[in-house]
A = this chain, B = another copy of it.
Amino acid sequence: MKAYLDCYPCFFVQTLNTMRLITSDEQEIWKVLRAVSSFLPELSFDSTPPEIGREIYRIISDMTGVKDPYRDIKKRCTKQALSLYPNIKEKVRKAENSLLTAVKAAVAGNIIDFGAQAEFDIKKDLDRILNQDFAVSDFERFARMVKKSRKTVYLADNAGETVFDRILIEEMAVPVIYAVRDKPVINDAVTEDAVEAGIDKVAQVISSGSDAPGTIMDYCRDDFIDIFKSADLIISKGQGNYEALSEVQRPIFFLLKSKCPVIAKDIGVPEGSIILMGQKKNTGHMI
């Protein structure tokens, strides 16, 4: 999905949010805002939000020397999510349709996002989403594909959300390769975050090679691309992965909450919807 014009103000909001984690020095923040502002005109009109996000985080990292401004927040989110784990596991176990409840738990975890949404309440939103209907649901097809999948790739999104992904992976009970970002970008999960969430106990954790806040094929490692191409089921979590892969023709299921008006419009659902959407056949380009 290419960036909409409405994404541009948001890039500045994201720059501000990240810079305020690094410093309270307004002059320093102003310098970085200026650098981001100078950089944006160089963009192609067809750039995707994660491509742009990647460049913005590179600018921030280069100018401040801070490589992982969300490190503490990521650790805290994972810890908080782990404290909710037993309770959600119990809900999944008792549910009429355990896989469906696990899918909803995984999408509920997608509220943990410092890119699209700086404020959230994991516990409150979790309960709400478990009782929310999908605005787009390809659940029956998803459930059938899970049953027969021999090679499932699960594209991680944010740290903390990883704990909720673990619950879905445990419920799917098939071999899963869990792909995380190569380097820290916003609060997206890297290997360390996946391990802290205990994903390594239930799946093989690998880096996709992408250091953008989305699995952009051009930035991925060759070994990951081979795995991606040969997977018979790909679960893509979150907005960033949707933005990166919405036009890639593979057996992808996009699992996300539409947290901003742009994504909601692109998918054709109200803001705040939860979505489990299988990639349509003949959409975009085969890789």
Task: Mark the stretch among A37-45, A64-72, A128-136, A248-256 that contacts chain B.
Answer: A37-45
Whether the pair B34, A5 counts as a contact (CB closer than 8 A) is no
Given A40-B34, A40-B37, A41-B34, also A9-B16 (CB < 8 A): yes
Q: Confirm or deny: A10 has a beta carbon within 8 angstroms of a beta carbon on chain B.
A: yes
For residue A151, give the distance in angstroms from its CB to the closest CB of chain B.
40
Task: Mark the stretch among A24-32, A78-86, A211-219, A221-229 that contacts chain B.
Answer: A24-32
Number of this chain's copies in the assembly equals: 2
Distance of A9 Cα from B33 Cα, bound (Å): 10
Nearest residue, chain B, Cβ from A4: B26
Contact with B along A265-278 (1 / 0, CB 8 A): 00000000000000
Contact with B along A6-36 (1 / 0, CB 8 A): 1011101100100000000011011001110
> Which of B13, B29, B41 is in CB contact (< 8 Å) with A38?
B41
For residue A117, give the distance in angstroms from its CB to the closest CB of chain B.
15
Nearest residue, chain B, Cβ from A38: B41
Q: Give 16 A-B pairs besides A8-B37, A9-B9, A9-B16 with Cβ atoms closer than 8 angstroms.
A: A5-B16, A5-B26, A5-B29, A5-B30, A5-B33, A8-B33, A9-B10, A9-B12, A26-B45, A33-B40, A34-B40, A37-B37, A37-B38, A37-B41, A38-B38, A38-B41
29 A/B residue pairs, CB under 8 Å, sorted by A: A5-B16, A5-B26, A5-B29, A5-B30, A5-B33, A6-B16, A8-B12, A8-B16, A8-B33, A8-B37, A9-B9, A9-B10, A9-B12, A9-B13, A9-B16, A12-B12, A26-B45, A27-B45, A30-B45, A33-B40, A34-B40, A34-B41, A35-B41, A37-B37, A37-B38, A37-B40, A37-B41, A38-B38, A38-B41
